[in-house]
Structure 1
């Protein structure tokens, strides 16, 4: 379990983390989301004892990480996959880490097998691809068989098979009752992996809830309709609070009326429906709505460099 209480971190005049409180529970995958500069990396570094809080606390399994006699057996972390000695082989790197905690060679061989590094374990890390480096970082995180995992962008650089492997690994570890804290910018992957989300923006918690609850809270009723008589059905559905958007000759989207109401209006007008599909807001849409006022850099959508200049 990871617990933060009034956790804050200040760098000069900048308040990177602003008094956040949250709990990452065992037995589930908790996603950690936020725009660039939101305070995610700073929070993870404080959890691992790499940065000291300005105020407040963050504990892993009831203690600050430095208070554990064998930290590697308590929490495994992937924060920066390339922070390894490039002239060492993957096996030598893992053996060096294992020796600090009295972990045997058998466990090193086991995590090499788990992460699929068997064929490259004797190669120097400096020649590893980004994806291979990620697998090595995950192997190091698993080395102490910890109850808590902190994984920052674990699928970065991985191919589709590797992404699926990380997803199954995270969910499998959570199913064993472990705490899995996962940060990623890939919304589609987070939607398929996480059970619970913590969203941070400008150093403050914007949401802390099950993923289904976050989606439901931001999901206005939308329905996709396809018929050969769109104009007649759209006229029947027109009402205050209902928005109708024509998509093509036979398809339109309804916002503000549910599928049952649409079907009833179609039956009354004897309009044949070819499609009636309720649409749920995606995690990306929910996330963008949550963080729209908390991004560090705002861009002008559709702006073209040099537009407006005279030839």
Structure 2
């Protein structure tokens, strides 16, 4: 099978080719696993972190990609519900132990044995991928392969962030950063909480214009004060400065939800500017998002099909994965980027 493979850590920069095109054997599904013929795979900022070594895979080589959509090609021993031909998706969560307190509570995202698709095991930048049957999700019939791919990470983790934000209809919500996840959360909020005003904080004017097109009540720079105090803010950026700004835009008792796998060191000094009385007092909260659960993935896909939610996507053939990664790092994207295998 064709695959784009990470063989060593490398910077993602203009003209770079951090992934190598390789022919790899088609994987064979083991007990409880399904083999998926991949149709599309989303491209995520987390892949940049893996390739550049900020969240490195435990072994190399590895095939990246954790927003995988395709059809079941074969099933392994013990598979119970999946059938050949089923259209399914695989998200960031590849597996967990299933036995610990977190797993038994439905919080397998916090399991010590959490394994990530495309980092701890081979992912979807390939023509075939395998996954445990318990960690694949059905794709609604009214969503195409390409438009479903970003829902499996950008959408699912955005949905989890929104759940953790705990807003009610009519309350104010801020979105800091407006990439693949932010544009899906905004559409979801407009459907589920029609009385909620969404304020977007983004660095580029293009992202702010995009937010207004999708129905944001207000859009400004990440350094701008919001015209009204917010009940919650979801921050998807790798910066610390935005954390400080978000705290200043929260009302009393408000909650900041940080939906990021890492925060960079470059502006860590911004934390020293936090004033307790101004920014944290009066029962404001900071909560982080760690991975996703299968509940998040399945619920969000179902809701996305009911709306139906239409992601904005840019398509690339599998062979152009390096170009997609470079353009993702460059920024200024509208929606998500998706690799196709045809």
TM-score (norm 1): 0.27
Q: Which has the larger radius of gyration?
A: 1
Per the normalisation by structure 2, the TM-score is 0.25
